[in-house]
Structure formats: C-alpha cells, structure tokens
Structure 1
Amino acid sequence: MAIPLLNYSPVTQNSRVQGYEIPGDDQPKIYSTQNILSSTDIDDLIGAAYRQIFFHAFKSDREPFLESQLRSNQITVRDFVRGLLLSDTYNRAFYGMNSNYRYVEQTVQRALGRDVFNKQETLAWSIIVASKGNASFIDAVLSSEEYLDNFGDDILPYQRRRVLPTRSAGELPFNIKSPRYDEYYRSILGFPRPVFQSSIRRFIPQEQQPKPGSPALFMDMVRGMSNSQPLPSQRVSAVGVNFRSGVPYRKVDFPINDPVAAAAVEKAKQGA
C-alpha cells in the first residue's frame, strides 16, 4: 500500500503574496500559448521551457517529438513540461545525481516556481518518490491545486515573485541557488576548478595605448639590453706569440740598380 502525501504547513513566502505592482522590465516574462501569434513566439516559449527545466539544453538534450506535438497543438504546455521532467536528460542530470531530498527541492523550484516551504514538505514529497516512483511524483506536482491555480494548462512555470518593489535586489535564480549537481558530485567531477594566471593582465584604455612609432613600444627591448651581462674579456699570454711571423713580408723581385740599396736588401734577407 502506497503511503499518501503527508500534511505539511505552508509558510509565508513571496510566491504566496499577491502582487499589485505594474509589470516592468524586472518582472519575469510570462509565456503562454494563449498569446501565440507567430512561429517565433512558440520558439521563444520552447526555449524558455528548456531554460526553466534544464537551465540550458544542448542539441542532444532537446526533445524534438515533444516540440512537434506542442507546435501542432496536440499537447498543452503542462504536458510539455511533464515530458521534460520525465526526459532522460532530467533523470540523468537531476534525479540520478542527487538525493531524493535535493531532487524534490529542485523539481518544486522548477515546476511550482518557488522554494520548498520546510523540511516537512521535502520529506512528504520524498516519500512519494521512494514509494510510488519518479513519474508519480511528477504527476502529483503537476496535478496539484497550486500548479493549476498559478499556471494551468497553458502558462509556462516561472520563478514567482523573485523581484519585489521594496527591495534593491531580488532573490537568486533557482539555477544559481540550487545548481544541477550537489557538493558530493561536484567534488567527484572535479569542479569548480581554480584557475591560476601566471601574469596579471591590466586594462589600458584605447586613448592611452602607444601609437605606432612611439618610444614606449621599444622600452621592453631597451630594458632587455640594459639587463644583459657583458661578455667576459679573454686573457691571452704573449709568451708564445711569434710577432715576426705575424707581420706580412713583401718580397722584392725586380732588379735594383743602386748598389747601396741592393746591399741593404741582401743584408735584410740574411737577417730574416
């Protein structure tokens, strides 16, 4: 016998308070099939659905069959959301990589657009997951009175009342507050990974960057020349150097008519 859903007391959250402010740029955009005017609008709705459920969908994560059914009005937005929550991507990345408690928190955030009220609600839905299975849990969430009152069959779920007029900053988005993997699986996968830079990059405005031909472009070359060490001088001993062999000698082959010069030349030959 399956255990019924336990009773839990809801707490006051922003999502439970009716808003009376005028919608602006800070308010989330509501996607619905009731105001579809072109094929671009249905593409935007499908893209928003992937961002809401998966946060980001690669080409291999998309569900072309569900998209085709939604485009042809064969299924509602609620059916499309149910197909994404039961897809292999969601089961592998969320259900398979987290505990039942964390999986319940992430599913409630994406399907109901709010955080879980307390631990009692997390425990109640976790018992449904453990006793009836994942598909029954998804059907119970999407068939709940809260989902039907806020989204119905045509409105795509969104994070409700994230930004309030009295606050300077709104609540964190669900994908940042509750990442896909918990701390245990993040440590197994090896992220976040610290990145160390060997050099510090500094931003230089364009008007302060040196122009072509500026001496500043050659400062690195000058610093490199000034830092270089001079070559050591070589010490050569003059003891074994034959200076006479190093002096070029020119032999005179033409005849000398002057007898005094001829005698001097002959004497120089004998001396050499």
Structure 2
Amino acid sequence: MGFAGVFADVAARYFEAYGDQTEALARIAAKNHANGVHNPYAQLQKDVGVAFCEVVSEKNPMVAAPLKRTDCSPVSDGAAAVVVSCKDVADAAVQKVRFLARTQVTDFMPMQQRNPLVFDGVTRAWQNVLREADMTLDSLSFAEVHDCFTIAELMIYESMGLTPYGEGARAIKEGWVMKDGRLPVNPSGGLKAKGHPVGATGVSMHVMAARQLLGEAGGYQIADAHTGAVFNMGGLAVANYASLLQRVD
C-alpha cells in the first residue's frame, strides 16, 4: 500500500461507481506525454499515444490494478526555486508575476473518514482561491495540477468544477483540457512527463506557470497566457494548495 496502491484503490472504487475509465486515463497520460515533448525540463519527452497508454504490455505493465505504468508519474530528482518579493521591490523588476490569491486546505488523513469518490479538500481549495480572487474557471488561461497518477487528474477536473462528480472523463474526451482547449491542463507535461521530485514539485509547478505567464514556455506556450492556476497536493488529497498567478505588464 504505497502511493500507487492507495491511488489504485481509489481508481478501482471510481470504476465501480462510474464505469471503466481506462480510456479516459489513457487519454490523460497521452496528453501529458505529448505536452512534455515540448518542455526541455521534462524528464520524459516522448509522445507515446493513447493506444499505448490504454493497453497492458511488456513496456506498460500493470503497477497496481487498474493503474498501469503510464498512469504513474516518475518520482524524480529535481530542484526548483522562485523569488518572492514585496510589492515595492517587485515593481522595479523587468519581469514579474503576482499572486492573485492562494489557499491551503487540510482534509482528514484516514480514508475511512472521507468519501473516496470525492476529493473534498481539493474542491474546497479551488472554491476558496477562486472566491478570494473573485474569478471563475473561464478567467484562467491554463492550470498546472498535481497529476501524480492519472486518476488524480481526472478527479481534480471534477473538484475544480469543470464537470460534475463522476463525469470528469468528459473534460479529456471532449478536448476541454488539451493545449488548444477551453482550459489547458498541464501544458508543461505535468508530473506525468515533467517528473515528480517530491518536495520540489509544488515550487516547480509555480516555475512552469510563471514561464507561461512571462511568455517563456517555448513549444508548450499557451497563446496570450495572462492568468494561471497551480494546484498541488500532499498525500491522498490531504494537504491541498491552490494559487492563482497573473502576469504584470
């Protein structure tokens, strides 16, 4: 019962409640791999396609049913840093990104005290940060979210309010979260392709978001990115952190 086993248990319960989501998870994995091709900082820079991600094979074995290797982010070595300054110092900077809002929500750690089909702490974090900034999802140019496993990204779609609970597959199957969709999710490749250096992950997600907002994302740049969201979590949605960032012209 490492993290793969814990998230696999959630995935199995989700499948039981809402039907087999193998295709949706494969599409999420393939999306993030395709995005990672264009990120020079990504650990995995190969477009493997939906068909490969959907099928168990020698190169894509089952890790913890129903999660295959392509459903799991690589635990990586890595480092990231941001410079945070007060407004009077930041005003003199040539390039700057500001926090519009930020929040942290802690949920119960024992799963027996929670509904395994709803990441309640994630939902509250998104609601809080959007309310604090007086914004909606439609105001965002993109989001970087904690896709430690593909099932996590699927359920985050629901928690952030893209779809009702149990209908997260719509967001990927209908292309909403693709790079050219209504809300691109993980244009950097996410943890799935960029890598998951535990402890540095949240900061690295802010770095990827800042690069987008500054127009420095190269091949994974979202056109005219002005406002982005970062959502990072610790454990099985126990510690939940959401930030809204905006380019300052």
TM superposition score category, shorter chain reference: under 0.3
- Normalised to the residue count of structure 2, the TM-score between the two structures is 0.26
Higher relative contact order (CA 8 A, sep 6+): 2
Which structure has greater helix proportion?
1
Which structure has greater strand proportion?
2
- Normalised to the residue count of structure 1, the TM-score between the two structures is 0.25
Structure with the greater alpha carbon radius of gyration: 1
